[in-house]
Structure 1
Amino acid sequence: MNHSGAANNQRPAVEVTKDRNGIGQVVLRNPRGASARISLHGGQVLSWRTDRGEELLFTSTKAIFKPPHAVRGGIPICFPQFGNRGSLEQHGFARNKIWVIDDNPPPLHPSDSLGKTYVDLLLKSSEEDLKTWPHSFEFRLRVSLAADGYLTMISRIRNINCKPFSFSIAYHTYFCISDISEVRIEGLETLDYLDNLCQKERFTEQGDALTFESEVDRVYLNSKDVIAIFDHERKRTFTIRKEGLPDVVVWNPWEKKSKSMVDFGDEEFKQMLCVDGAAIEKPITLKPGEEWTGRLELSVVPSS
């Protein structure tokens, strides 16, 4: 796990370090020099860079990196609750817990590690969690970086309880964009969505592509498994591929909401867009001993 700079660049590398608050971080690098940085606080991906060093995820300049705050940016994991749809704290507790590196994980499908640099993280229910959410679980998260720079997150959630439980989950991905008024999302046409700005009322998407000129906070239901974000100005396209995650959250706080958030700059809404793979509308129920798997793969290409 040593790190000796560029000389080491020819092979995939996994490096374990600490941030300035002493919280463990894992840095994944592929042979071409792309990288991903994951914090053990929340199992949260904080950075995903191309082999040219371009940052693909947005993190606020005002983000707070000290627990118990979740970091404003990257890819926080909302589990076992999304938003305020339940009795727990906003977006559940997983993003505020310290995860551990699992050095000896149960095997995944072989193709999920082939040619990839990866780390397996584990979160188990603590005594404290059981007081607010009385269900024993194991949440395994594999974050991997492929040779082509694709970032994949595979969640495996197992019920180790003697009774069933239900949960919601979202990978709350903050994409870094050139300008919110210059991007469009394709893949959500004709879908029904719940509008959080209208008391979760249900509407149907009418546009051919989603563009932005005001605050948006929606959960699109039963979407297809590939969504694309086109960033015209930066001439690049993000592709989101997902399995086991039927819903897509789209969020941008716009001007007024931005000013009310302490950990977010007033003008930063222009440089970010959240598009999440999620399972929200119909929570997932696991019987005792049962396991659920959800997978998210993010890729970026220069647009032609």
Structure 2
Amino acid sequence: MNRSGAESDKRTAVEVTKDKNGIGQVVLRNPRGASARVSLHGGQVLSWRTEHDEELLFTSSKAIFKPPKAVRGGIPICFPQFGSRGLLEQHGFARNKIWVIDKNPPLLHPNDSNGKAYIDLLLKPSEEDMKVWPHSFEFRLRVSLAEDGYLTMISRIRNINCKPFSFSFAYRTYISISDISEVRVEGLETFDYLDNLCDKERFTEQGDALTFESEVDRVYLSSSDVIAVLDHERKRTFTIRREGLPDVGVWNPWEKTSKSIADFGDEEYKRMLCVDGAAVEKPITLRPGEEWTGRLELSVVPST
């Protein structure tokens, strides 16, 4: 999983463990002490911590860690459907399935391996999945933690069907914040968005940054490749870089909707914000044998 030799073992660590329900988890550590924890339930990143042991992702205190329920928090993977835009269950089935560790992944660019702690996971459809979405695919996911603490997720989805299929996709990224009223999102100004609170009607972002005073559930379309989330109180800025993911989902349920979500605390909306790298408006279509790659890179830096 890492470069061979004792040299790389000192630098990075990949540890396979189990959670209290017996589900496999992989802990990635870099030499400075930053870490990421990935569950085989959903191929979901559940934790991403700085070298000072600060948690950067939000997970609800009421989250359910038992399949088939997806975990509320971290970075669930929405595939082959985002939200309720289709006939499948909300956000598709990939986040509810048990993935396996891919022992022989196809090669990636050396930059995606060198000096990084990483794990490769694989999802193939079960007979049950084929009944609801009758397409054969291989979904390979690499999660890596670099020396500088950057967290990268690379999804590669291949059509092994004899006919084309289409899907939508998102990395639903629950960011941990100090207070939703103190946060601003930059990089979405002037872009069009679909507002899920207004029957997916299309609007154009007028503000020079996105701030929050009520429920927000939007998909920004073909927006800039880099989005910044500024948390004034914690004096830190998250940077979200995307490749192959033209759209950005932004969600905060605010007070009223929070109370209607069983696995979410009534007041927890104040401490989380979802900012997703996504491909929603124009579904991805793969012909037989074709492969799509979607990449998300998350970093965090101190800010004033």
Superposition TM-score, scaled by structure 2 size: 0.97
Query: Are residues 107 and 78 of structure 1, via their aligned partners in 2, closer, same or farther at CA, if it must alter by over 3 Å?
Result: same
Query: Residue 15 of structure 2: SS of its match in structure 1?
Result: strand
Task: Please name the residue that 1:68 is paired with.
Answer: 68
2:274 alignment counterpart? 274
1:132 lines up with 2:132 in the alignment: yes
Distance of 1:282 and 1:174 partners within structure 2: 23
Alignment of 1:168-247 (within 5 A): 168-247=168-247
Aligned position for 2:17: 17
Task: Tell me by how many angstroms 1:103 deviates.
Answer: 1.3
Counterpart CA distance in 1 for 2:184 and 2:9 is 35
Matched ranges for 1:254-265 at <5 A: 254-265=254-265
Task: Give CA-to-partner distance per residue, 1:38-57, whole Å, 9 cap, x none.
Answer: 00000000000000000000
Alignment of 1:118-157 (within 5 A): 118-157=118-157
**CA deviation string 1:75-97 (max 9, x = no partner):** 00000000111110110000000
Q: Where does the alignment leave 5 or more consecutive residues of structure 1 unmatched?
A: 2-7
Give the drift of 1:10. Answer: 4.3
SS in 1 for 2:60: coil
User: How large is the Cα RMSD of the aligned pairs?
Assistant: 1.1
Q: Which contiguous aligned blocks of 4+ residues in structure 1 show a shift greater than 2 angstroms?
A: 8-11
Q: Report the CA distance between 1:11 and its aligned residue.
A: 2.2
Q: Note if contact 2:11-2:115 (Cα within 8 Å) is conserved in structure 1.
A: no
Contact 1:9/1:33 (CA < 8 Å) preserved in 2?
no
Residue by residue, what CA displacement relative to the aligned partner does 1:242-297 show, whole Å, maximum 9, x if unpaired? 00000000000000000001100000000000000000000000000000001000
- How far is the alpha carbon of 1:224 from its aligned partner? 1.0
Cα shift readout 1:83-126 (whole Å, capped 9, x = no counterpart) = 11111011000000000000111100111111100000000111
Question: Following the alignment from structure 1 to structure 2, what is the Cα–Cα distance between the partners of residues 166 and 224?
Answer: 24
CA distance 1:10–1:52, change in 2 (3 Å): farther
CA distance in 2, matches of 1:91, 1:162: 25
Aligned equivalents of 1:249 and 1:172: distance in 2? 8
Cross-structure match for 1:106: 106
Q: What SS does structure 1 have at the residue aligned with 2:259?
A: helix
Any conservation in 2 of the 1:9–1:31 contact (CA below 8 Å)? no
SS in 2 for 1:284: strand
2: CA distance, partners of 1:29 / 1:111: 18
**Structure 1 residue identity aligned to 2:33:** G
Q: Secondary structure at the match of 1:256?
A: helix
How many corresponding residue pairs? 298
